[in-house]
Amino acid sequence: MDDIFITWRTWPEARAALESDGTLDPPALERLDRAAAAALRWHGDQKRPTGVPYMEHLVEALEAMVRGAGETDPEVLSALLLHDTVEDTGATVAEVEEEFGPRVAELVDWVTKPPTDGMGRQAKRAAKAAYLRRLRDAPPEAVAVKLADRVSNVQRLDQMPPDFQRRYYAETITYVLPLAEGHPWFASWYAAWRERFAHLR
């Protein structure tokens, strides 16, 4: 598996690359400027479980979506940059819609896990499984957002604790790989990823 998306660490780095090679036109870049600024505003100084700034995850997912899957729709890419705002910050779907319109808000809503505060471990896992199964009914663009999100999460799975690796591998194989069936690039990427981490079966 050669496609690891870790070139961009910040939105300015991503923007410079997208602008220099003409991948996105100026109006699209301006829309993503707004989405990146909102993501930074809402996520603030949040860190990922690995300790890196949250924006690194968002631009990794963006790189996979653009460089890998070839997506250039600024609304889909904006939704990707904002995909964790409702789930992990104080932002609401209504606020996303107010700033970015109904389509971006709908895509963010589809990929937002329901709250599980106060649930036990088994209940949380059941709720997450239900959420992932629900994505089978999501619009293709929302599925693509989820697939790009998970690319960032699993591309360096070997750097996570061993027990997490096995659990996350199984979850990805069970629920995420079937979502990739209608998305050729993602299907190919996940097939290669599955083989790379086959020792976790």
Catalytic residue among 13, 25, 87, 98: 87
The catalytically annotated residue of 3, 33, 88, 95 is 88
Average pLDDT for 122-148: 95
Q: CB burial class (10 A; 0-12, 13-18, 19+) of residue 90? A: exposed
What is the C-alpha to C-alpha distance for residues 53 and 37, in angstroms, rounded to an integer?
14
Q: Is 4 inside a domain boundary?
A: no
Reported pTM: 0.95
Q: Is residue 2 part of a domain?
A: no
Query: Does residue 112 lie in a domain region?
Result: yes
What total of structural domains would you count in the chain? 1
Q: What is the mean pLDDT of residues 117-126?
A: 88
Residue 6 lies in a domain: no
Has residue 3 been placed in a domain?
no
Q: pLDDT, tens digit, for every residue of 40-95?
A: 999 999 998 788 899 999 999 999 999 999 999 999 999 999 999 999 999 999 99
103: in domain: yes
173 lies in a domain? yes
pLDDT tens per residue across span 21-35:
999 999 999 999 999
Flag whether 51 is in a domain.
Answer: yes
What does the pLDDT read at residue 2?
A: 62
> What is the C-alpha separation between 113 and 106, in angstroms, rounded?
13
Q: In terms of residue numbers, what domain contains 36?
A: 11-200
The CATH number covering residue 66 comes to 1.10.3210.10
Q: Are 65 and 71 in contact (CB under 8 A)?
A: yes
Q: For residue 87, indicate whether it is catalytic.
A: yes
